[in-house]
Structure 1
């Protein structure tokens, strides 16, 4: 009898906690008085006996900020190529995004986390934050994220499908909203706020290889022209020192703005140059392992050694262009003393990045 009483008490307490969490949730009705549309088209209408938002672009909840807690929304099934997701902690043109590739149900990249810098997704740089999910092909799919400081857990139809251990932007609060590309329909948007996240949003320290290049000197962004890009065109530019993520990844858009961004493949190509110095006690050969997005020209001591194209679909319709530090190998003939490695990295969309190590 004693154990039965304890069990019943536990169930009652759990029910009260769940009820309290639900009561603390803020529902945002799907109408124009609650939402502001950013760069896109929208229609608020009744569909399937619900208030819905048909969106192609971004929409943000008016006068609401979010730090930690839960955000969820229902997304109507769509077999056509399209994307639908949640935006959170938006400040100016920087935000965190979790989204569904609805046309990729039961594929490795059906769900994606990506930080967005300069109002542009960077998914090519974060293959590790994709997951295989099977979506309902009829009716509504529920997308829910649970945010706790630097970690986010992602749920589809109440099943946990992805854990993001290192949210990449440095912002600990901001606006919340929705993202859709090629028209998707949303309903039942709600969120629950917990305590404000820690102001020091530090990346969890993973074991790092000692030969990772963790600092680069970078220029600002320049318009790219194949005929005009020469070593002399940037060698005297001003460089600023930046630190990579613990993996060695340098996401350029986190530090510098493009002149054309936010329009996916309609962007005009730009380039920036990342440089590092290599001291050598004698003449020797060292291996440079690296990857990049979208294109690159590698110079050693002013001499071009390699040109490559890793852009989305550059090697076929299914080619993603994800970054992998071991994808490219280049032997560097170092002279005794100071050597300078310059990487001119050209980008259009989907993630502007560089990663490298010396072996």
Structure 2
């Protein structure tokens, strides 16, 4: 009976601390974490630590709306990713991670939304930062989440502001992420009330030439010999809207046949289509970009084929997308013209962005 009473008191104290905005430290012991087979707990450097070889782990029975999440990560010069997951709901979440092997490079820290268990960092190049990490000892990562924005700190220095959290989820689980082995310690979080901040000028007009709605199919495993335009006409399509920029993050709407294994995924494809009306026979400029690969059809005829995948143009090639990267002059016929884009992807961001003018 005494043990039960003590447990209840401890739980109530824990919940009261959260409600009052106190900093809560989550000990690195298995009973506090939803873990995978890739997780071990070890005493190291006079600390209790969690070693995560790959994947994600979450804190048991804890969610956060707004507040601060912090963790220490042991210095690592071998290629790896180590970070914090937050507002996790099933296979959708926000994620910020350090790439300590890329110290002092422009993409040393990255933010990505995770949709259907797929990372999308290629689509959001504005959310990365140049950071110099400690070569020995511990590097601290802190995220201050406030409504639909966040600020990122490394070793107590602000390195990045995320103006818009892409999943738009308001709450969810918190935890850790690693790709390849990393050692974590001293995980803590503080729930806080949202703070009203001065809004940035949002009066920048959106280019009316940008395509903001697409009709898209479900995903299928890509086999070149099975791609026939006639089959596109038999598919069922759903209407989806892009982000304000015109970017279509495809994984937000479509689940792949295989996901979460980065470049080890099978290659999937969807077909995205849009209608263009012309008052007469005329030529219009179609500007676009994509990830990873694409085939563009105009009125049933293939007019472009390209590959923008990670590292396809060199070991340092990131495959980020920019709406002005590719340009086609399309010979439109009077009346309705149909553009179909076969967009293929393995990993790191399945996306499409386009405008016609």
TM-score, normalised with respect to structure 2: 0.91
RMSD: 1.8
Is the 8 Å Cα contact of residues 266 and 346 (structure 2) preserved in structure 1? Answer: yes
Q: CA offsets per residue over residues 135-173 of structure 1, 9 Å max, x none?
A: 001100000000000110000011100000010003100
Is the 8 Å Cα contact of residues 73 and 186 (structure 1) preserved in structure 2? Answer: yes
Match of 1:222 in 2: 220
Post-superposition offset of 1:209: 1.1
Match of 1:11 in 2: none
Match of 2:263 in 1: 265
SS in 2 for 1:109: coil
For 1:49 and 1:205, locate their aligned partners in 2 and report how far apart those are by CA, in whole Å: 53
For 1:254 and 1:124, locate their aligned partners in 2 and report how far apart those are by CA, in whole Å: 14
Is the 8 Å Cα contact of residues 72 and 140 (structure 2) preserved in structure 1? Answer: yes
For 2:65 and 2:82, locate their aligned partners in 1 and report how far apart those are by CA, in whole Å: 21
Match of 1:288 in 2: 286
SS in 2 for 1:63: strand
2:35 aligned residue (34, 37, 46): 37
For 2:178 and 2:303, locate their aligned partners in 1 and report how far apart those are by CA, in whole Å: 41
For 1:330 and 1:226, locate their aligned partners in 2 and report how far apart those are by CA, in whole Å: 23
1:46 aligned residue (30, 43, 47): 43
Q: CA offsets per residue over residues 60-112 of structure 1, 9 Å max, x none?
A: 10000111000000010000100000000000100000001111000000000
For 1:263 and 1:317, locate their aligned partners in 2 and report how far apart those are by CA, in whole Å: 20
Post-superposition offset of 1:175: 0.4
Number of residue pairs the alignment of both structures matches: 334
Is the 8 Å Cα contact of residues 73 and 188 (structure 1) preserved in structure 2? Answer: yes
**1:197-216 mapped onto 2 (5 Å cutoff):** 207-216=205-214
Which shifted more, 229-238 or 120-129?
229-238
Match of 2:113 in 1: 115
Name the CA shift for 1:180/1:129 in 2 (closer, same or farther; >3 Å): same
2:185 aligned residue (182, 187, 193): 187
Post-superposition offset of 1:22: 10
1:255 aligned residue (253, 265, 271): 253
1:97 aligned residue (95, 111, 135): 95
Which shifted more, 87-96 or 230-239?
230-239
Post-superposition offset of 1:196: 7.1
Match of 2:349 in 1: 351
For 2:354 and 2:267, locate their aligned partners in 1 and report how far apart those are by CA, in whole Å: 22
Is the 8 Å Cα contact of residues 325 and 356 (structure 1) preserved in structure 2? Answer: yes
Is the 8 Å Cα contact of residues 60 and 176 (structure 1) preserved in structure 2? Answer: yes
Give 4+ residue runs of structure 1 displaced > 3 Å after superposition. 20-23, 195-198, 204-207
Kindly indicate whether residue 306 of structure 2 is the aligned counterpart of residue 308 of structure 1.
yes
For 1:207 and 1:127, locate their aligned partners in 2 and report how far apart those are by CA, in whole Å: 21
**1:316-327 mapped onto 2 (5 Å cutoff):** 316-327=314-325
1:144 aligned residue (142, 145, 150): 142
Name the CA shift for 1:205/1:277 in 2 (closer, same or farther; >3 Å): farther
Unpaired runs of at least 5, structure 2: 1-17, 197-201
Is the 8 Å Cα contact of residues 68 and 197 (structure 1) preserved in structure 2? Answer: no
Name the CA shift for 1:140/1:312 in 2 (closer, same or farther; >3 Å): same
Q: CA offsets per residue over residues 168-208 of structure 1, 9 Å max, x none?
A: 0031000000001110000000001123799xxxxx78531
TM-score, normalised with respect to structure 1: 0.90
For 1:233 and 1:49, locate their aligned partners in 2 and report how far apart those are by CA, in whole Å: 62
Which shifted more, 287-296 or 205-214?
205-214
For 2:193 and 2:87, locate their aligned partners in 1 and report how far apart those are by CA, in whole Å: 14
